[in-house]
Structure 1
Amino acid sequence: MPTLRQLRYLTALADERHFGRAAAACHVTQPALSMQIRDLEAELNLVLVERGRTGASLTDEGVALAERARALIAGVRDLEDFARERRGAHSRRLSLGVIPSVAPYLLPTILPVLQAAIPDLELKVRETQTAQLLTELAAGELDAVIAALPLAGEGIEAAPLFDDPFLLASPAAAPLAAEDPRSLPSERLLLLEEGHCLREQALGVCAISDLSTFGATSLTTLLQLVAHGQGVTLLPQMAARDIADPRIALARFPEPQPKRTIAMAWRAASARKKQLKDIAGRIRTAVAHDD
Protein backbone atom coordinates (compact mmCIF):
# COMPACT_ATOMS: atom_id res chain seq x y z
CA MET A 1 0.00 0.00 0.00
CA PRO A 2 1.38 3.48 -0.86
CA THR A 3 2.56 5.45 2.13
CA LEU A 4 1.89 9.09 2.91
CA ARG A 5 5.62 9.73 2.67
CA GLN A 6 5.75 8.37 -0.86
CA LEU A 7 2.80 10.52 -1.90
CA ARG A 8 4.44 13.62 -0.43
CA TYR A 9 7.64 12.88 -2.30
CA LEU A 10 5.68 12.43 -5.53
CA THR A 11 3.90 15.77 -5.18
CA ALA A 12 7.23 17.46 -4.43
CA LEU A 13 8.68 15.93 -7.59
CA ALA A 14 5.64 17.09 -9.54
CA ASP A 15 6.27 20.64 -8.32
CA GLU A 16 10.04 20.74 -8.73
CA ARG A 17 10.50 18.46 -11.78
CA HIS A 18 13.94 17.61 -10.45
CA PHE A 19 14.96 14.93 -7.96
CA GLY A 20 17.55 17.08 -6.22
CA ARG A 21 15.23 20.06 -5.71
CA ALA A 22 12.36 17.80 -4.65
CA ALA A 23 14.62 16.10 -2.09
CA ALA A 24 15.72 19.48 -0.73
CA ALA A 25 12.09 20.59 -0.44
CA CYS A 26 11.34 17.41 1.54
CA HIS A 27 14.52 17.71 3.64
CA VAL A 28 15.79 14.28 2.60
CA THR A 29 18.64 13.03 0.46
CA GLN A 30 18.12 12.55 -3.26
CA PRO A 31 18.77 8.77 -3.15
CA ALA A 32 16.18 8.40 -0.36
CA LEU A 33 13.53 10.27 -2.34
CA SER A 34 14.36 8.41 -5.56
CA MET A 35 14.11 5.05 -3.80
CA GLN A 36 10.71 5.90 -2.33
CA ILE A 37 9.40 6.92 -5.76
CA ARG A 38 10.66 3.65 -7.27
CA ASP A 39 9.00 1.71 -4.45
CA LEU A 40 5.76 3.55 -5.17
CA GLU A 41 5.98 2.67 -8.86
CA ALA A 42 6.61 -0.95 -7.97
CA GLU A 43 3.72 -1.01 -5.52
CA LEU A 44 1.30 0.38 -8.11
CA ASN A 45 2.93 -1.33 -11.11
CA LEU A 46 2.94 2.00 -12.96
CA VAL A 47 5.63 4.18 -14.48
CA LEU A 48 5.07 7.55 -12.79
CA VAL A 49 8.24 9.43 -13.69
CA GLU A 50 10.27 9.90 -16.86
CA ARG A 51 13.87 10.36 -15.79
CA GLY A 52 16.29 12.43 -17.85
CA ARG A 53 19.70 14.04 -17.56
CA THR A 54 18.26 17.50 -17.00
CA GLY A 55 15.44 16.60 -14.66
CA ALA A 56 12.31 14.54 -14.26
CA SER A 57 8.79 14.81 -15.64
CA LEU A 58 5.71 12.92 -14.60
CA THR A 59 3.94 10.57 -16.97
CA ASP A 60 0.21 10.96 -17.50
CA GLU A 61 -0.29 8.37 -14.77
CA GLY A 62 2.11 10.28 -12.52
CA VAL A 63 0.24 13.55 -13.03
CA ALA A 64 -3.11 11.92 -12.28
CA LEU A 65 -1.74 10.22 -9.18
CA ALA A 66 -0.08 13.44 -7.93
CA GLU A 67 -3.41 15.27 -8.16
CA ARG A 68 -5.08 12.57 -6.07
CA ALA A 69 -2.14 12.54 -3.69
CA ARG A 70 -2.54 16.27 -3.03
CA ALA A 71 -6.16 15.75 -2.01
CA LEU A 72 -5.21 12.87 0.29
CA ILE A 73 -2.39 14.86 1.91
CA ALA A 74 -4.75 17.80 2.47
CA GLY A 75 -7.27 15.44 4.06
CA VAL A 76 -4.64 14.04 6.43
CA ARG A 77 -3.59 17.54 7.48
CA ASP A 78 -7.21 18.45 8.14
CA LEU A 79 -7.54 15.31 10.28
CA GLU A 80 -4.49 16.38 12.27
CA ASP A 81 -5.95 19.85 12.74
CA PHE A 82 -9.30 18.32 13.75
CA ALA A 83 -7.61 16.23 16.45
CA ARG A 84 -5.73 19.28 17.74
CA GLU A 85 -8.89 21.35 17.88
CA ARG A 86 -10.74 18.63 19.79
CA ARG A 87 -7.88 18.43 22.28
CA GLY A 88 -8.02 22.18 22.69
CA ALA A 89 -4.46 22.40 21.43
CA HIS A 90 -4.82 24.99 18.66
CA SER A 91 -2.07 24.89 16.10
CA ARG A 92 0.51 27.65 16.36
CA ARG A 93 1.51 27.30 12.73
CA LEU A 94 -0.15 29.21 9.93
CA SER A 95 0.79 28.83 6.28
CA LEU A 96 -0.60 31.86 4.50
CA GLY A 97 -0.48 32.59 0.79
CA VAL A 98 -0.74 36.18 -0.46
CA ILE A 99 -0.69 37.55 -4.01
CA PRO A 100 2.24 39.90 -4.88
CA SER A 101 0.04 42.96 -5.47
CA VAL A 102 -1.27 42.69 -1.90
CA ALA A 103 1.49 41.18 0.27
CA PRO A 104 3.88 44.14 0.76
CA TYR A 105 1.04 46.57 1.49
CA LEU A 106 -1.18 44.41 3.71
CA LEU A 107 1.29 42.34 5.74
CA PRO A 108 2.49 45.22 7.95
CA THR A 109 -1.14 45.77 9.00
CA ILE A 110 -2.15 42.16 9.57
CA LEU A 111 0.95 40.64 11.17
CA PRO A 112 0.04 42.01 14.63
CA VAL A 113 -3.49 40.70 14.07
CA LEU A 114 -2.20 37.20 13.34
CA GLN A 115 0.11 37.25 16.34
CA ALA A 116 -2.76 38.27 18.59
CA ALA A 117 -5.02 35.53 17.18
CA ILE A 118 -2.41 32.76 17.45
CA PRO A 119 -0.09 32.92 20.50
CA ASP A 120 3.49 31.86 19.72
CA LEU A 121 2.71 32.19 16.02
CA GLU A 122 4.79 30.14 13.59
CA LEU A 123 4.00 31.97 10.37
CA LYS A 124 4.97 30.85 6.88
CA VAL A 125 4.13 33.33 4.13
CA ARG A 126 4.02 32.27 0.49
CA GLU A 127 3.86 35.06 -2.10
CA THR A 128 2.95 34.03 -5.64
CA GLN A 129 0.18 34.21 -8.21
CA THR A 130 -3.42 33.25 -7.46
CA ALA A 131 -3.58 30.02 -9.47
CA GLN A 132 -0.53 28.57 -7.71
CA LEU A 133 -1.83 29.65 -4.30
CA LEU A 134 -5.15 27.90 -4.89
CA THR A 135 -3.36 24.74 -6.00
CA GLU A 136 -1.29 24.73 -2.81
CA LEU A 137 -4.37 25.52 -0.71
CA ALA A 138 -6.25 22.55 -2.17
CA ALA A 139 -3.21 20.34 -1.52
CA GLY A 140 -3.11 21.33 2.14
CA GLU A 141 0.22 23.08 1.74
CA LEU A 142 -1.39 26.37 2.73
CA ASP A 143 -3.98 26.97 5.45
CA ALA A 144 -5.41 30.10 3.84
CA VAL A 145 -4.82 32.54 1.01
CA ILE A 146 -5.44 36.25 0.59
CA ALA A 147 -6.21 37.23 -3.00
CA ALA A 148 -8.68 39.12 -5.16
CA LEU A 149 -12.13 37.76 -5.95
CA PRO A 150 -13.32 35.76 -7.78
CA LEU A 151 -11.51 32.71 -6.47
CA ALA A 152 -12.39 29.58 -8.41
CA GLY A 153 -11.96 26.13 -6.98
CA GLU A 154 -13.91 23.25 -5.52
CA GLY A 155 -14.24 23.02 -1.76
CA ILE A 156 -13.03 26.57 -1.12
CA GLU A 157 -14.76 29.15 1.07
CA ALA A 158 -13.94 32.86 0.84
CA ALA A 159 -14.67 35.79 3.14
CA PRO A 160 -14.38 39.31 1.65
CA LEU A 161 -11.98 41.52 3.62
CA PHE A 162 -12.14 44.93 1.93
CA ASP A 163 -12.58 46.76 -1.36
CA ASP A 164 -9.50 48.24 -3.00
CA PRO A 165 -10.34 50.98 -5.54
CA PHE A 166 -8.16 51.55 -8.61
CA LEU A 167 -6.42 54.88 -9.15
CA LEU A 168 -4.99 56.20 -12.40
CA ALA A 169 -1.22 56.65 -12.34
CA SER A 170 0.14 58.80 -15.17
CA PRO A 171 3.28 60.90 -15.76
CA ALA A 172 3.11 64.17 -13.82
CA ALA A 173 4.58 65.97 -16.85
CA ALA A 174 1.54 64.96 -18.92
CA PRO A 175 -1.18 63.76 -16.50
CA LEU A 176 -4.36 62.14 -17.75
CA ALA A 177 -7.75 62.88 -16.28
CA ALA A 178 -9.35 59.94 -14.48
CA GLU A 179 -12.59 59.70 -16.36
CA ASP A 180 -14.11 56.54 -17.81
CA PRO A 181 -11.36 53.87 -17.59
CA ARG A 182 -12.67 52.45 -20.86
CA SER A 183 -11.46 55.61 -22.58
CA LEU A 184 -7.83 55.13 -21.55
CA PRO A 185 -5.46 54.82 -24.53
CA SER A 186 -4.77 51.10 -24.77
CA GLU A 187 -1.45 51.70 -26.51
CA ARG A 188 -0.19 53.51 -23.38
CA LEU A 189 -1.61 51.12 -20.79
CA LEU A 190 1.09 49.35 -18.77
CA LEU A 191 0.21 46.07 -17.05
CA LEU A 192 1.70 43.25 -15.07
CA GLU A 193 2.73 40.15 -16.99
CA GLU A 194 0.26 37.36 -17.77
CA GLY A 195 -0.72 35.21 -14.83
CA HIS A 196 -1.25 38.11 -12.42
CA CYS A 197 -4.90 38.57 -11.55
CA LEU A 198 -4.33 42.34 -11.41
CA ARG A 199 -3.61 42.28 -15.15
CA GLU A 200 -6.91 40.54 -15.89
CA GLN A 201 -8.80 42.94 -13.62
CA ALA A 202 -7.25 45.97 -15.32
CA LEU A 203 -8.15 44.61 -18.74
CA GLY A 204 -11.69 44.01 -17.52
CA VAL A 205 -12.02 47.51 -16.07
CA CYS A 206 -10.76 49.03 -19.31
CA ALA A 207 -12.96 46.69 -21.40
CA ILE A 208 -9.98 45.38 -23.35
CA SER A 209 -10.15 41.70 -24.26
CA ASP A 210 -6.61 41.32 -25.55
CA LEU A 211 -3.59 43.54 -25.33
CA SER A 212 -0.07 42.99 -26.57
CA THR A 213 1.96 45.16 -24.28
CA PHE A 214 4.95 45.12 -21.99
CA GLY A 215 4.32 42.87 -18.99
CA ALA A 216 6.06 43.90 -15.77
CA THR A 217 6.75 41.51 -12.92
CA SER A 218 5.93 44.02 -10.16
CA LEU A 219 4.03 47.22 -9.43
CA THR A 220 7.36 48.87 -8.63
CA THR A 221 8.50 48.32 -12.22
CA LEU A 222 5.21 49.67 -13.59
CA LEU A 223 5.55 52.86 -11.54
CA GLN A 224 9.11 53.42 -12.72
CA LEU A 225 7.89 53.20 -16.31
CA VAL A 226 5.08 55.67 -15.56
CA ALA A 227 7.54 58.03 -13.86
CA HIS A 228 9.69 58.01 -17.00
CA GLY A 229 6.75 58.84 -19.25
CA GLN A 230 6.38 55.40 -20.83
CA GLY A 231 2.64 55.07 -20.23
CA VAL A 232 -0.13 54.91 -17.63
CA THR A 233 -1.40 52.18 -15.33
CA LEU A 234 -4.22 51.30 -12.96
CA LEU A 235 -2.86 51.25 -9.44
CA PRO A 236 -4.59 49.64 -6.45
CA GLN A 237 -5.23 52.26 -3.79
CA MET A 238 -3.43 50.20 -1.14
CA ALA A 239 -0.26 50.40 -3.23
CA ALA A 240 -0.49 54.18 -3.62
CA ARG A 241 -0.08 55.15 0.03
CA ASP A 242 3.71 55.24 0.07
CA ILE A 243 4.23 56.86 -3.32
CA ALA A 244 6.09 60.15 -2.97
CA ASP A 245 7.55 60.37 -6.47
CA PRO A 246 6.75 63.83 -7.91
CA ARG A 247 7.03 62.40 -11.42
CA ILE A 248 3.83 60.35 -10.89
CA ALA A 249 0.35 61.87 -10.85
CA LEU A 250 -2.41 59.91 -9.12
CA ALA A 251 -6.08 60.54 -9.85
CA ARG A 252 -9.24 58.97 -8.48
CA PHE A 253 -11.99 57.81 -10.85
CA PRO A 254 -15.53 59.14 -10.34
CA GLU A 255 -18.19 56.93 -8.79
CA PRO A 256 -18.76 54.10 -9.25
CA GLN A 257 -15.02 53.68 -8.86
CA PRO A 258 -13.46 50.61 -10.46
CA LYS A 259 -12.18 48.34 -7.72
CA ARG A 260 -11.11 44.87 -6.72
CA THR A 261 -12.32 42.96 -3.68
CA ILE A 262 -9.67 41.30 -1.54
CA ALA A 263 -10.75 38.15 0.29
CA MET A 264 -9.36 35.42 2.51
CA ALA A 265 -10.06 31.83 1.50
CA TRP A 266 -9.58 28.39 3.06
CA ARG A 267 -10.63 24.80 2.44
CA ALA A 268 -14.27 24.22 3.30
CA ALA A 269 -13.27 20.97 5.01
CA SER A 270 -10.59 22.63 7.14
CA ALA A 271 -10.85 21.80 10.83
CA ARG A 272 -9.52 25.30 11.50
CA LYS A 273 -12.43 26.99 9.73
CA LYS A 274 -13.69 28.68 12.92
CA GLN A 275 -10.23 30.05 13.72
CA LEU A 276 -9.69 31.23 10.14
CA LYS A 277 -13.07 33.00 10.09
CA ASP A 278 -12.06 34.74 13.31
CA ILE A 279 -8.77 35.82 11.76
CA ALA A 280 -10.58 37.12 8.66
CA GLY A 281 -12.86 39.19 10.89
CA ARG A 282 -9.87 40.62 12.75
CA ILE A 283 -8.15 41.52 9.50
CA ARG A 284 -11.32 43.20 8.22
CA THR A 285 -11.49 45.33 11.37
CA ALA A 286 -7.78 46.17 11.32
CA VAL A 287 -7.91 47.32 7.68
CA ALA A 288 -11.00 49.45 8.35
CA HIS A 289 -9.25 51.16 11.26
CA ASP A 290 -6.11 51.66 9.17
CA ASP A 291 -7.95 53.66 6.48
Structure 2
Amino acid sequence: MTLRDLSYLLAVAEFRNFSQAAEHCAISQPTLSTQIKKLEDYLGIDLFLRDKNNIAVTDACREILPIARRILDDVRSIRQIAAHASARHRNQLSLGAFPSLASYVLPEYVFRIKQHYPDLKIQLVEEKTHALIALLLDKKLDAALLALPVEHAALEYRLLFEDPFTLAVSADHPLAGLEEVD
Protein backbone atom coordinates (compact mmCIF):
# COMPACT_ATOMS: atom_id res chain seq x y z
CA MET A 1 0.00 0.00 0.00
CA THR A 2 1.40 3.38 -0.99
CA LEU A 3 0.49 7.00 -0.41
CA ARG A 4 -0.57 7.15 -4.04
CA ASP A 5 -2.96 4.22 -3.46
CA LEU A 6 -4.52 6.15 -0.58
CA SER A 7 -4.95 9.26 -2.74
CA TYR A 8 -6.62 7.13 -5.44
CA LEU A 9 -8.90 5.59 -2.82
CA LEU A 10 -9.97 9.02 -1.58
CA ALA A 11 -10.59 10.27 -5.12
CA VAL A 12 -12.83 7.35 -6.04
CA ALA A 13 -14.71 7.69 -2.74
CA GLU A 14 -15.20 11.43 -3.35
CA PHE A 15 -16.26 11.31 -7.01
CA ARG A 16 -17.98 7.89 -6.92
CA ASN A 17 -16.85 7.67 -10.52
CA PHE A 18 -13.64 6.07 -11.78
CA SER A 19 -13.32 8.33 -14.84
CA GLN A 20 -13.70 11.55 -12.85
CA ALA A 21 -11.40 10.25 -10.11
CA ALA A 22 -8.79 9.31 -12.71
CA GLU A 23 -9.00 12.76 -14.28
CA HIS A 24 -8.62 14.34 -10.84
CA CYS A 25 -5.54 12.16 -10.17
CA ALA A 26 -4.12 12.90 -13.66
CA ILE A 27 -3.94 9.22 -14.63
CA SER A 28 -5.86 7.02 -17.01
CA GLN A 29 -9.07 5.34 -15.85
CA PRO A 30 -7.73 1.81 -16.49
CA THR A 31 -4.63 2.59 -14.41
CA LEU A 32 -6.79 3.88 -11.55
CA SER A 33 -9.05 0.82 -11.71
CA THR A 34 -6.03 -1.49 -11.68
CA GLN A 35 -4.49 0.27 -8.67
CA ILE A 36 -7.76 0.16 -6.71
CA LYS A 37 -8.11 -3.56 -7.54
CA LYS A 38 -4.52 -4.17 -6.35
CA LEU A 39 -5.29 -2.31 -3.12
CA GLU A 40 -8.42 -4.42 -2.62
CA ASP A 41 -6.39 -7.58 -3.25
CA TYR A 42 -3.71 -6.43 -0.81
CA LEU A 43 -6.30 -5.70 1.89
CA GLY A 44 -8.38 -8.78 1.06
CA ILE A 45 -11.64 -6.80 0.94
CA ASP A 46 -13.84 -4.92 -1.48
CA LEU A 47 -13.58 -1.18 -0.99
CA PHE A 48 -16.30 -0.28 -3.48
CA LEU A 49 -19.48 -1.95 -4.67
CA ARG A 50 -19.69 -1.53 -8.40
CA ASP A 51 -22.66 -1.93 -10.69
CA LYS A 52 -23.22 -0.62 -14.18
CA ASN A 53 -23.86 3.02 -13.24
CA ASN A 54 -23.10 3.29 -9.52
CA ILE A 55 -20.12 3.03 -7.22
CA ALA A 56 -20.82 2.72 -3.52
CA VAL A 57 -18.39 2.75 -0.61
CA THR A 58 -18.36 -0.44 1.46
CA ASP A 59 -18.62 -0.35 5.26
CA ALA A 60 -14.94 -1.31 5.55
CA CYS A 61 -13.94 1.48 3.15
CA ARG A 62 -16.02 3.94 5.18
CA GLU A 63 -13.85 3.07 8.22
CA ILE A 64 -10.62 3.31 6.22
CA LEU A 65 -11.32 6.70 4.58
CA PRO A 66 -10.76 8.94 7.66
CA ILE A 67 -7.51 7.12 8.40
CA ALA A 68 -6.35 7.55 4.81
CA ARG A 69 -7.21 11.28 4.98
CA ARG A 70 -5.24 11.67 8.22
CA ILE A 71 -2.24 9.86 6.75
CA LEU A 72 -2.21 12.05 3.64
CA ASP A 73 -2.76 15.19 5.75
CA ASP A 74 0.17 14.16 7.98
CA VAL A 75 2.37 13.59 4.93
CA ARG A 76 1.43 17.06 3.63
CA SER A 77 2.35 18.51 7.03
CA ILE A 78 5.70 16.71 6.99
CA ARG A 79 6.42 18.06 3.51
CA GLN A 80 5.51 21.60 4.60
CA ILE A 81 7.77 21.37 7.64
CA ALA A 82 10.63 20.06 5.49
CA ALA A 83 10.12 22.77 2.86
CA HIS A 84 10.08 25.45 5.53
CA ALA A 85 13.20 24.06 7.20
CA SER A 86 14.94 23.73 3.84
CA ALA A 87 14.13 27.31 2.88
CA ARG A 88 15.29 28.52 6.28
CA HIS A 89 18.52 26.55 5.91
CA ARG A 90 19.15 27.84 2.39
CA ASN A 91 19.01 31.40 3.63
CA GLN A 92 21.67 30.98 6.33
CA LEU A 93 25.40 30.38 6.39
CA SER A 94 27.44 29.79 9.51
CA LEU A 95 31.11 30.43 8.86
CA GLY A 96 33.97 30.05 11.28
CA ALA A 97 37.60 31.16 11.28
CA PHE A 98 40.49 31.08 13.72
CA PRO A 99 41.17 34.45 15.39
CA SER A 100 44.38 35.49 13.66
CA LEU A 101 42.75 34.97 10.27
CA ALA A 102 39.18 36.09 11.00
CA SER A 103 39.80 39.80 11.30
CA TYR A 104 41.83 39.90 8.07
CA VAL A 105 39.71 37.85 5.66
CA LEU A 106 36.14 37.72 6.97
CA PRO A 107 35.26 41.35 6.21
CA GLU A 108 36.22 40.88 2.56
CA TYR A 109 34.61 37.43 2.29
CA VAL A 110 31.37 38.60 3.87
CA PHE A 111 31.29 41.62 1.57
CA ARG A 112 31.72 39.41 -1.52
CA ILE A 113 29.18 36.83 -0.37
CA LYS A 114 26.59 39.53 0.38
CA GLN A 115 27.10 41.02 -3.11
CA HIS A 116 25.96 37.71 -4.62
CA TYR A 117 23.44 36.70 -1.92
CA PRO A 118 22.06 39.89 -0.34
CA ASP A 119 19.32 38.08 1.63
CA LEU A 120 21.69 35.51 3.10
CA LYS A 121 22.05 35.64 6.88
CA ILE A 122 25.65 35.00 7.85
CA GLN A 123 26.65 33.88 11.31
CA LEU A 124 30.37 34.32 12.01
CA VAL A 125 32.21 32.28 14.62
CA GLU A 126 35.74 33.06 15.72
CA GLU A 127 37.34 30.13 17.55
CA LYS A 128 40.50 28.09 17.81
CA THR A 129 41.00 25.42 15.16
CA HIS A 130 40.10 22.43 17.37
CA ALA A 131 36.85 24.15 18.42
CA LEU A 132 35.96 24.96 14.80
CA ILE A 133 36.57 21.34 13.80
CA ALA A 134 34.27 20.17 16.62
CA LEU A 135 31.57 22.61 15.47
CA LEU A 136 31.89 21.36 11.88
CA LEU A 137 31.62 17.73 12.99
CA ASP A 138 28.55 18.57 15.10
CA LYS A 139 27.05 20.33 12.04
CA LYS A 140 26.83 23.58 13.98
CA LEU A 141 28.96 25.29 11.32
CA ASP A 142 28.52 25.10 7.56
CA ALA A 143 32.15 25.93 6.79
CA ALA A 144 35.31 27.17 8.45
CA LEU A 145 38.55 28.83 7.39
CA LEU A 146 41.36 26.80 8.94
CA ALA A 147 45.09 26.45 8.65
CA LEU A 148 46.25 23.22 7.04
CA PRO A 149 46.69 20.39 7.68
CA VAL A 150 43.17 19.39 8.66
CA GLU A 151 43.27 15.66 9.17
CA HIS A 152 39.77 14.30 9.62
CA ALA A 153 38.03 11.75 7.41
CA ALA A 154 34.60 13.38 7.85
CA LEU A 155 35.76 16.76 6.57
CA GLU A 156 36.64 17.93 3.07
CA TYR A 157 38.80 20.95 2.44
CA ARG A 158 39.88 23.18 -0.43
CA LEU A 159 42.97 25.35 -0.47
CA LEU A 160 41.90 29.00 -0.74
CA PHE A 161 45.27 30.70 -0.53
CA GLU A 162 48.77 30.35 0.88
CA ASP A 163 50.05 32.87 3.36
CA PRO A 164 53.73 32.56 4.25
CA PHE A 165 54.71 33.21 7.85
CA THR A 166 57.82 35.15 8.74
CA LEU A 167 59.77 34.62 11.94
CA ALA A 168 61.31 37.73 13.44
CA VAL A 169 64.17 37.31 15.91
CA SER A 170 66.93 39.56 17.14
CA ALA A 171 70.13 39.58 15.06
CA ASP A 172 72.09 37.67 17.71
CA HIS A 173 69.46 34.91 18.14
CA PRO A 174 70.61 31.35 17.18
CA LEU A 175 67.86 31.16 14.51
CA ALA A 176 68.84 34.49 12.92
CA GLY A 177 71.28 32.99 10.45
CA LEU A 178 68.94 30.27 9.11
CA GLU A 179 67.19 30.63 5.75
CA GLU A 180 64.30 28.35 6.86
CA VAL A 181 62.97 27.37 10.26
CA ASP A 182 61.08 24.13 10.75
TM bin (shorter chain): 0.3 to 0.5
The TM-score normalised by the length of structure 1 is 0.30
More helix by share: 2
The structure number with the bigger radius of gyration is 2
The TM-score normalised by the length of structure 2 is 0.47
